[in-house]
Structure 1
Amino acid sequence: MKNSTRVSFLSILSIALAVSVQAQLLLTEDFAGAAGTALTSASWVLSGTNNTNPLTIGSPGLTFSGYPGSGVGNALPMTNNGQDLYRSFTATNSGSVYLSFMVNVSAALTGDYFIALSPSSSQTNYYARLHVKSSGSGYSFGMNKSNEVTGGAKYGTTVCNLNATYLVVIKYSFTGPAADTLNDPINVYVFGSGANIAAEPATPEISGYVVNTRTDAADLSSVTLRQGSSTAAPTIVIDGIRVSKSWNTMLTGVESTKSSIPATFSLSQNYPNPFNPSTAIRFQLPTASFATLKVFDVLGREVATLVNEMRLAGSHVVRWDGLSSPSGVYVYRLTAGEVSTQSGGRSVETRTMILLR
């Protein structure tokens, strides 16, 4: 019995090694280089002429439960009055653009922005500028659409703790019939430790921020990291930057389906793959079913049970943290007991993934 199980899993492995990952994130930055590496050697480009306090990768990376960039690679310390860098992605001018990242603020001053988005027409024309300013014993996040001065940044009401890691998501929505209208809104979501990030919240920290005296971005095509004024800018560590077109893509790297109820049973390729140490696994159920999702090594030994319960019809995403498992190829298998198939009975689908340290 053991030998047949081993042969079965090795057969699955031989078929599935040629896996293509359908990554559809516009940008991913996990600062995977060694500590001390200049960020300009990793696809980031100087913005402006200031080369003091060059941005260099630091260690360790940040963690936030459920976020794909958690614990991957290292991180980036940022101070003030120094080098600013940008990294480009495929320009987009419709729907929404989601910019997400983990951030840990150790010092906050009077308020300045440290990250922004830019259009292809002018990399230094910053949109969706995220600010941090001191508030009581902690700090608050604020938003500027562009370079408006009257009223300054709009700040949220949550006072965040210094030296704690938060997940921040900025959503810029293109709403006008053409570029350069005045009504594109920006939402900012802020999540503390233990928060559920599986779905986009109904109430943002900063909701529908619109400045009708500033033209909208014609498109968005780059992320800028900025070290601002020495009297106003925060001291932070940032990590796990993602740019995507949907909340689901931000978490899984795969575009969400248009229909809320899928037509067929399916198990998607995990993302990222290869991964270290965690990865997201997405599956679809056309009807409510008792589902089991397990992870095995190539010898057929069970490593983890990720799902073992009734699940509603729809798309589901779970994560596997392989922190305690060695590098190698793993098999994950989804079984759903009450999904009808052409042959009747249970539906089973299996894929492989690679943990690479």
Structure 2
Amino acid sequence: MKRSGSVFGLMCACIFLFGTCVVHGQPNGSIVGSGTYVVVEPASLDSLVAIAGGGEHSLALSSDGSIVAWGANISVQCNTPAPNEDFIAISGGWAHSLGLRSDGTIGACGWNYYGQCNIPAPNEGFVAIAAGEGHSMGLGSDSTIVVWGNNSYSQRDVPVPNEDFVAIAGGGEHCLGLKTDGTIVAWGRNLDVQCNVPAPNEDFVAIAAGGEHSLGLKSDGTIVAWGQNGYGQCNIPEPNTDFIEIASGGDHSLGLKSDGTVVAWGRNDSDQCNIPVPNENFASIAGGEGHSMGLLANGGVVIWGSNTSGQCNVPVSNEGFVDVAGGQYHTLGLKADGIVVAWGQNHQYHQCDVPLPNSDFVDVTSLGNHSLGLKSDGTVVAWGYNDFGQCNVPEPNDSFIVIDAGGRHSLGLRPGGTIVAWGDNGSGQCNIPAPNVDFLAISGGASHSLGLKADGTIMAWGNNNYGQCVVPAPNESFIAVAGGYSHSLGLKTDGTIVAWGSNTSGQCNVPAPNEGFVTVVCGAHHSLGLKADATIVAWGMNAYGQCDMPALSEGFAYVTAGYHHSLGLNRAELIAVAFSSIAADSEEGAITVHWEVQADEALSGFRLYRAPMQGEFCCITDIPLSPCTRTFEDRTIEPGMEYRYMVAVLTTDGREIRSLEVTAHSIAPPLALGQNVPNPFNPRTTIRFSVPGSQHVGINIYDPAGRLVMKLVDKQMEAGSHQIEWDGRDSRGRAVASGVYFYRLTVGKETSTKKMILLK
């Protein structure tokens, strides 16, 4: 989708930056975002059991049965169907998503132009799902296929006899079905012969459909490919052996080997075929339009390729960020080491190509399609869209202390409170009102500008078509300002927000209670406020879920916004003033240590030490924590264990001062049974499960008639997460036949059962 140079997003929050005020340390955490571009924090991408790639979005299934979605959300394809629970399978289309629940019903969200999200009645009895570009498929427990959505090439017309199917796959505008006898049926668009299954059409155990090509996996571990081959997506690399799973992207293909390595071929203009190192320990694969995904055996995920909509999430480790900024179609993140990370749309304006050297940045900002970065030496670096000179920083380019980007103009604040403005001035947005002194903060709107004076008044200039430059009386006691597309916000000393200008989407209707705010932010047509209790309030336009932020509800030290998306820094801590205590809190999967420090020591950082109750202490922080850190989340723990912790203060003269000990007992996970991976499988599959305490555990395999096939587990086990492999054999060591099987976890009086499919 091409960007419009005449439409801009806005995301600026300004606070007191000098003068008589308390200075807090910068937040340091992970980025989370909602709206048109969804960003998820690292904790959301652990304990996964399945993955799926869409056009420019990605899906993952958690072991708890919930779906995690990120990337493009312009069609709300990442707004998972409610309730987000009990899912056992997922599939991504071009701009829609499907989820299969354990009760055999299907949930759908996203683009619905062709009715691809309208599941036909009765919505029940499904055992598999597949999403095409604009159509959807469901496999019933009776082995028949149902197709709905786009029918431009008769993809809804399942060939007769519609029976004996065991797997389905949706391509761009064609469909594939795998029969119990190992043959493939293909129908729909066939302009590139993607429906002409090569002979001999036999011995297939898995299928995958790309944009205009098809793949089939044979029982001997070889792959057959046919259809469009303009990028070599049908040229399987040698040796074509030992494959156990296949996946297709738009114009590329993926294969998973039995040794856990991934092979990729075909279109590679976005590096979607360049598997990251180490290429090992993969348990499943998935392809998107221009990106690829690999599910690790430990439940983690690796994503590579196109990231134009954040479908690869944050392209580096999503931690250690101290600032974040959202543009119209891109995002900037500033790391604690001064490096800027950028992702999103980049092909037209190169707003994600950070100029070298990418170092020593202390602030970043964006709005439309250009980016600004402030260096520690007071110079400004600008890149991206520059048709109006918004990237041409005026000389002398030095001594800047604050920057902000407008739609097609830029602002910089110098010592003494003078503002410098450059770029588009068609509405007078660069004409700073006299006297140009004593400004404390700045904010650029689409075509208007705001400045906060030292006396607490706001000056506004530029486009005033909606009254966005008419500050409501009394114009006093303001401590922060923010400008949107055509509305403005001001934060008062009493923690209340004043809003004015366009209110077409309710962006000026501050929700009650209007109190306790510490930061204000404007998107294009929505607004956000960060409260002192680290919660975020959002209001205004919500067509893309930019105001529906369950993940952005608490624990934040910073918030900002892009055009139609919202961003926050999560799990961040601010600097404190006294060191006198240490405490530890437990939650499932983690122990969090908190401490306070005194101000009479020159600190350079912290180390954290941990020991079992009867063991020695060892350092669990590879590098010292920053001086502003006051909490540490330890996720390298065993469930149901008791630990001791100490915090060591590092002083600038090289001393290490250790705190007293604190103890905490880790919480055991709940009883959970994950979906087997891979599924369908041949002949091996892995079953993950967790138990809440040391108990007797049983896992049995049953056939559809309820007959016991195999006892996989029958023993006492410790609390925690576990996994077991089934090799497709019964209790006598005989290979079982292809078909549907059930596996049941029994712990005490509790049981959980799931379905799996063996395809030979």
Please tell me the TM-score bracket, short chain as reference: 0.3 to 0.5
Q: TM-score, normalised by structure 2?
A: 0.20
The structure in which a higher percent of residues are helix is: 1
Q: Which protein has greater RCO, CA pairs closer than 8 Å, 6+ apart?
A: 1
Structure number with greater Rg is: 2
Q: TM-score, normalised by structure 1?
A: 0.38
